[in-house]
Amino acid sequence: MLSICYDPYVGTLGRFTRAEIFELVAKAGYEGINVPVNQAFLGELSSSEIDDAAKLAEKYNLVVPTIGFGNHIVTDPQRKAEALKHFEIVLNVAKRLNGKIIGIWPNLPKNTSREMALDTLADNLSRMLPALDEHRMNIALEFEKGCPIDNYREGIEFISQTDLRLTLTCDTYHLFNDNAAPYDAVLEMREQLGDVHVSGSHRGEPGTDAFDFESFAQGLKEIGFNGPLVSQYHLKDVDSIARSYAFSKKLREMITTH
């Protein structure tokens, strides 16, 4: 389902409590929320914290299609055991909240080459995928300039060389910084596109920027993309939560209108 979701991000986390975030997101009209598995949102990651998030999702009738890995260590060769231990927690959260996509941002650890980071990422993913298959879940990898997966083209290449079950998170902010043509990029990613992060080209409120959302939507329409669309941007004005939902709703209409 092409659901419209909100990601608690910079300007939201640490500013509002978990309960306040759920309430703000629901009141703005969103159908879902991304749950980042980190201390900022889930505290000590205890079963009671996870249960509280599940209860809030039920209270506000919000789906949780995406789960953020939260701990950016999957590319660190010195922290493989820790990454896999954290994955067990993430998997538990996804099962509890009926999440289907686990989002991972592969950063470049200090004193680590790009090649070593990608090798570590591939090894960790090979250990995660069997459990995800069992629960009909998947992983979406986010590309970003300067990271081991710098752009969507490198993302496609990494997936083709690693495991075709993997998908990509296409963040409009990162796509803009790559100077990529939105329409062409979407058509190239096609079935490897797992979810979309909707952000302004300035990392601010979407729709107040220079990104070509019209051609982006046309591409998503042609490949039959079915979501989710996740608002992820630096929040400054609380009222923009609702405006961002309205913008994403229009974007969805552009994608789904025949």
The predicted-structure confidence for 80-99, as pLDDT tens digits, reads as follows 999 999 999 999 999 999 99
163: nearest Cα among 188, 200, 190, 138: 138
The string of DSSP letters for 155-218 reads: HHHHHHHH-TT-EEEEEHHHHHHTT--HHHHHHHHGGGEEEEEE--TTSSSTTSSS--HHHHHH
Tokens of residue 129, six digits? 């995928």
Residue 32 CB partners (closer than 8 Å, separation 6+): 3, 4, 5, 6, 62, 63, 64, 65, 66, 228
d(CA 147, CA 153): 13
- Where exactly are the structural domains of the chain? 4-256
What is the per-residue pLDDT for 230? 98
Fold for the domain defined by 4-256: TIM Barrel (3.20.20)
Neighbours of 157 (CB within 10 A): 12
3-state SS, residue 144: coil
The predicted-structure confidence for 209-258, as pLDDT tens digits, reads as follows 999 999 999 999 999 999 899 999 999 999 999 999 999 999 999 999 87
The predicted-structure confidence for 41-75, as pLDDT tens digits, reads as follows 999 999 999 999 999 999 999 999 999 999 999 99
pTM here? 0.97
Share of the chain above pLDDT 70, in %: 100
**Residues 150, 85, 17, 251: what is their CA dihedral angle, to the nearest 10 degrees?**
40
Residue 1 has pLDDT above 90, yes or no: no
What is the per-residue pLDDT for 227? 85
The predicted-structure confidence for 129-166, as pLDDT tens digits, reads as follows 999 999 999 999 999 999 999 999 999 999 999 999 99
